[in-house]
Structure 1
Amino acid sequence: ETMEGYQQCAVRLSDDPEEICKRALADSGIQQILDDPGMYLILD
């Protein structure tokens, strides 16, 4: 299981940065962080 996770991570490191950004913005957890006013100020 650990090796499978490592391999998936290694494959994703070679992904296009724009694709990585699109996937991150589609993630509901990331959206919750970005919607938090306090976190928005920190990240801005």
Structure 2
Amino acid sequence: MAKKEKTILIADDQVIEHKKDPLSRFVIVVSNLLIVVLIVLCVLMFTHL
């Protein structure tokens, strides 16, 4: 049980850090957008071929 509580605490700390650090959240959003854009570009390339 002690181990389980420890992992929950670690997860809570990570959530708090994300709220404190808006830059990391911004980076995650930008990287997700880039992935979406790349997928869309690939689909467009394939449809034009």
* TM-score, normalization by structure 2: 0.39
Q: Determine which structure has more spread, i.e. the larger CA radius of gyration.
A: 2
Q: Which structure's residues are more often helix, by fraction?
A: 2
Tell me the TM-score normalized by structure 1.
Answer: 0.41
